[in-house]
Structure 1
């Protein structure tokens, strides 16, 4: 199985070749601004307790974190939505691992997209692991995992017909920071990946190396 990082790098390289320079500059400037003011290095470190949560999936079924970790460690990943090609590549690869485990892998993805949009992402990518709805990015905000997009990036998203006020239960153009965690049965973080550059994601093999040691 090709690594996720290779798939992401291939997409990013292709995107750069077909995208006007001014758009690339807008994206890079936005990421740089976020990196400059980010405090992500200090949040949710390995060894700390991950906050408990109760979130519904896109069909309305409630998932409680204490119940999720009762029998197995939990892999939890934040994704921006079905419009984001990097999120699609990430969830597609997790689906391959989920199928390989015969649906025993304990993983959930969290998205701020309204269920009507998230259901499209689920069906188009044949996702069968839970996709949980973070209404208004409230949980991401609690964790300090929110990217507040600048005006130039907001306008670029709108030009791409990505209106986050329609897709989210909020009037802001904020997004969750891509992040992946492994949480043990005592709610302690055993693995942490947080990255301001949304084109980078946790490598599933690295995540699973920690997850499998905890089983």
Structure 2
């Protein structure tokens, strides 16, 4: 019988286009005061740029103890398969931009990676219970892990935290980052995508200091090994 392959995913709007659509409704919902707070935070993050020492192509990933969505112990080495992986660092299931992106990767990126035997791994500092929420709400079929205390994120130089005004705005919206994080702090990663080999060599790194922007699928696919 002829070989069959996974059907190509149906084309979808880019992440940037989906973010633009989301922002239109979100800013109308939260009003000008809170919108100004988040706009200023994003502007300051862009002005500061990617931190010196952030992970880059050519680096080797450190080993790290992680936890899966069921609460079982795991590790970065165990998660990366023999054909390497795409690793996505995200802020948490409380972040609408993260949820939008992970769902987009599920629909548009995962089928391509499966064709090539490359794993897709998402990592955040949130509790396993919050990770499970991200899995269920996004219908995610790839590995979702917790980096308790952002140990791995610190080693990769991509640690950040919402500014005080943004934390206060979050409170106005009914949540706090620390309530979702495994270590009960506000520490979170800059949204980051890495392409890594089976032995943990980083061949592509894209760090986004502005959390409303993310790495598009076409960019990730272009960075995969031939």
Give the structure-2-normalised TM-score.
Answer: 0.83
Matching of residues 168-183 of structure 1 within 5 Å: 168-183=181-196
8 Å CA contact retained: 2:93, 2:130 = yes
8 Å CA contact retained: 1:12, 1:199 = no
Aligned-pair CA distance for 1:17: 4.0
Show CA shifts across 1:84-137 (max 9, x none): 111111111111132563794411000111111221121121111110011122
Q: Give the whole-Å Cα distance in 2 for the aligned partners of 1:104 and 1:13.
A: 38
Give the structure-1-normalised TM-score.
Answer: 0.87
Aligned-pair CA distance for 1:201: 0.4
The reply to whether residue 21 of structure 1 matches residue 15 of structure 2 is no
Quick one: structure 1 residues 70 and 109, their matched pair in 2 at CA, closer, same or farther if it must change by over 3 Å?
closer
Matching of residues 19-168 of structure 1 within 5 Å: 19-40=30-51, 42-96=53-107, 97-99=109-111, 101=114, 104-168=117-181
Unaligned runs of 5+ in 1: none
- Partner SS state of residue 181, structure 1: strand
8 Å CA contact retained: 1:56, 1:62 = yes
Q: Give the whole-Å Cα distance in 2 for the aligned partners of 1:79 and 1:29.
A: 21
Measured on the aligned residues, the alpha-carbon RMSD in Å equals 2.3
Q: How many residues align?
A: 213
- Partner SS state of residue 40, structure 1: coil
Aligned-pair CA distance for 1:70: 5.0
Quick one: structure 1 residues 89 and 74, their matched pair in 2 at CA, closer, same or farther if it must change by over 3 Å?
same
